[in-house]
Amino acid sequence: MTKPQNIDDAVTKCLEKYFHDLDGTPPTAIYDMVLRAVERPMLEVVMQRASGNQLRASEMLGINRNTLRKKLQHYKLL
């Protein structure tokens, strides 16, 4: 049985594959790409775990509820 990956390992593995797949093409906007790739699914899972309760989700995330609401609006998750 294989050991479950932690998030750091999963991100590292995906980034290594991304650079390999570029095959010499210069990368651009990696920071924004990674944030978009991680933030939306994180918000979806946390909102599901919080049963749609934004206050509880914001507490789980460690962010202000208004910040959470803006992010949910940005990703059209409301």
What CATH number corresponds to the domain at position 71?
1.10.10.60
In tens, the pLDDT along 7-30 reads 999 999 999 999 999 998 999 999
- The residue segments making up the domain with residue 36 are 28-78
Q: Is there a domain that residue 57 lies in?
A: yes
The reported pLDDT for the residue numbered 5 is 78
4 falls in which pLDDT band (50, 70, 90)? low
Q: Is there a domain that residue 14 lies in?
A: no
Q: Give CA–CA dist 12/17, Å, rounded.
A: 9
What is the total count of domains within the chain? 1
Q: State the amino acid at position 50 in one-letter form.
A: A
Q: Is there a domain that residue 35 lies in?
A: yes
Where b means 16+ CB within 10 Å and e means fewer, 38-50 reads eebeebeeebeeb
Q: Give CA–CA dist 49/56, Å, rounded.
A: 9
Q: Judge contact between 56 and 50, C-beta under 8 A.
A: yes
